[in-house]
Amino acid sequence: MRIAAIRFAGVNVTPKTNWSFVQVATEDRRTGTGECTLANHEAVLALEVARLDAALRGADARDRNALARLLPHAPGGLVRHAAISALEQALWDLAGQEAGVPIWRLLGGRLRDRVALYANINRGVAERVPEGFAAAARRAVADGFGAVKLAPFDPFVWEDAAAPDQRAAYARGIERIAAVREAVGPGIDVMVDCHWRFSAGGAAALVRDLARFDLFWLECPLAEANLGELRRIRAMANDRGMRLAGAETLAGLAGFAPVIAAGAYDVLMPDIKYCGGYEEMRRIAALAQVHGIEIAPHNPTGPICHAHTVHACATIPNLGRLEVQFGETPLFFGIAAGTVPAISGGAAPVPDRPGLGAALAEGIAAERPWIPIPSPWLDPRLG
C-alpha cells in the first residue's frame, strides 16, 4: 500500500471559519483522510503538507510509526504537529480500509457503542448578548444535550484588563454565563471556556465570581506554561465544586506528562488534530488514568476530526464527554461523504464502516476553497 500523494484541502464553511484536511492517496486507489484545522494558518499548513508529500511519496502507508512520528520539539511547532496528526489519522483510515474493519477494531476493540457528547454553542451564537447565548443553550438542550459550553469573555484580554472597556467585557461575560445557567436549569451541566484570557490573579478572582453558577468545569483560564498557578486555581475551583480543564493545544505524551505530574487539571482535552493522532492520544489517556484524570477530547471543528475522535473515544477507559460544535454551520455534514457520527441527541454512535467511514465530498475543496479570515474568533495574542 504505497503512498502516491499527500494533499492539503482547505474548505471555507462560514465567513469566520475554514476547516483543513489531509488526504493520503495510495497507488492501489485508496484515500485516507485526516483533519488538521488550525485557524488562520491554512497557507503554512498547505506548505507543511507539501513537504510531507515530497518526503513520503512511495513509502508504505502501513509504516505509521516511521511516517507519522510526532516530535514535540519540532521547529514547525503546532503547524507541524497538526500536519503530522492529520497524516497519522489518514494512515489509520487506510489501514482500516485495507483490513475491512473500523479503526476502533484495529485499536483493540471498543469499550462503548456510543460516545457521550457536550454541545459547544460558542460559534453558533450570532448575537453575542446574554439572550443570544441563552437561546443557543436552550436549542442544544432541546436537541438532547445534557451539557453545554460557552466562551463568554470576548474581547477581554488580561494584558488590557485595566482599561474600562475590558472591565465591561468581563462583566458582560459574567452576564452571559448567568443567562445560560438560568436558561438550562439545574439539571444541565455548564462549562465555561476562557481561551487563556486571564492572569493568575484574574483567574483566581474569576473562580470566586463563578462559584454561584454551579459550573461543571472552567477551561483554560491561563496558559499551561504556568503550572504552579494552574494547580492553585484547580484547588480553588475544586473547593467551589468546579473541575479545571485544559491542554487542548499540547502535543505528544512528552507535552502532557509535565501537566499531569503537576496536577494542573481534573480534565485533559487532547485534540486528535494536534496531539499526534490516535497513538499519542491513547498514551496520554493511559498516563492520565494512572493519575485519576478524565479525558474529554477537544473537538470543536470539522466532521473528519469528529469521526476520528469518536473512534478514539470508543477505546479510552477514562473518557468523559466529547466536545462537538453545535449550530455553527449545516456544512458539518454537507462537505462530507460516507457516515459522519451524529452531533445531536447527546451521544454519537460508534461507526461500523471500514476505516474512518467518512471522507470529504468529491470536489468540495475546489467548490468552497479556504479564504483568509480578516476578523478571527480569537485575539492573535491568545493563539
Q: What Å distances lie between residue 363 and 9, 336, 366, CA to CA?
A: 10, 11, 5
DSSP character for 101?
A: S
DSSP character for 127?
A: S
The model's pLDDT over 58-104, given as tens digits with 9 standing for 90+, comes to 999 999 999 999 999 999 999 999 999 999 999 999 999 999 999 99
The model's pLDDT over 101-126, given as tens digits with 9 standing for 90+, comes to 999 999 999 999 999 999 999 999 98
- Residue 197 DSSP SS3: coil
Superfamily designation of domain 105-355: Enolase-like C-terminal domain (3.20.20.120)
Task: Pick the closest to residue 337 from 370, 368, 364 (CA basis).
Answer: 364
- Residue 8 DSSP SS3: strand
- Torsion 191-196-200-203 (CA) sign: negative
* Cα–Cα dist 73/69, whole Å: 12
Could you tell me if 272 and 278 are in contact, meaning their C-beta atoms sit under 8 angstroms apart? yes
* Cα–Cα dist 198/186, whole Å: 27
Half-sphere exposure of residue 334: CA atoms within 13 angstroms, side-chain side: 12
Could you tell me if 212 and 178 are in contact, meaning their C-beta atoms sit under 8 angstroms apart? no
The model's pLDDT over 150-180, given as tens digits with 9 standing for 90+, comes to 999 999 999 998 899 999 999 999 999 999 9
pLDDT above 80 (res 383):
no
Tell how far CA 285 is from the center of its chain: 15
Could you tell me if 320 and 296 are in contact, meaning their C-beta atoms sit under 8 angstroms apart? yes
pLDDT above 90 (res 379):
no
* Cα–Cα dist 269/29, whole Å: 35
pTM for this prediction? 0.97
Instruction: Give 201's pLDDT tier (boundaries 50, 70, 90).
Output: very high
Q: What is the mean pLDDT of the chain?
A: 97
Domain residue ranges in the chain: 3-101, 105-355
- High-pLDDT (> 90) share of the chain, %: 96
pLDDT value, residue 251: 98
Could you tell me if 314 and 104 are in contact, meaning their C-beta atoms sit under 8 angstroms apart? yes
Q: What are the two backbone dihedrals, phi and then psi, of residue 304, each rounded to the nearest 5 degrees?
A: -75, -45
Could you tell me if 342 and 20 are in contact, meaning their C-beta atoms sit under 8 angstroms apart? no
The model's pLDDT over 205-245, given as tens digits with 9 standing for 90+, comes to 999 999 999 999 999 999 999 999 999 999 999 999 999 99
pLDDT value, residue 17: 97
Q: What is the dihedral of CA 110, 113, 116, 120, to 10 degrees?
A: 90
Q: Is 3-101's fold the same as 105-355's?
A: no
* Residue type at position 360: L
The model's pLDDT over 295-329, given as tens digits with 9 standing for 90+, comes to 999 999 999 999 999 999 999 999 999 999 999 99
* Cα–Cα dist 284/183, whole Å: 35
Cell reading at 60: 508504505
pLDDT value, residue 380: 84
Instruction: Give 253's pLDDT tier (boundaries 50, 70, 90).
Output: very high
pLDDT value, residue 263: 98
pLDDT value, residue 207: 98
pLDDT above 90 (res 285):
yes
Q: What Å distances lie between residue 11 and 85, 86, 238, 347, 362, CA to CA?
A: 18, 15, 40, 26, 12
Per-residue buried b or exposed e for 183-220, using 16+ beta carbons within 10 Å of the residue's own CB: bbeeebbbbbbbbbbbbbebbbebbeebeebebbbbbb
* Residue type at position 241: G
3-101 CATH fold: Enolase-like; domain 1 (3.30.390)
Q: Cell numbers 445557567 correspond to what residue? A: 181
Could you tell me if 333 and 103 are in contact, meaning their C-beta atoms sit under 8 angstroms apart? no
Mean pLDDT to the nearest integer, 281-293: 98
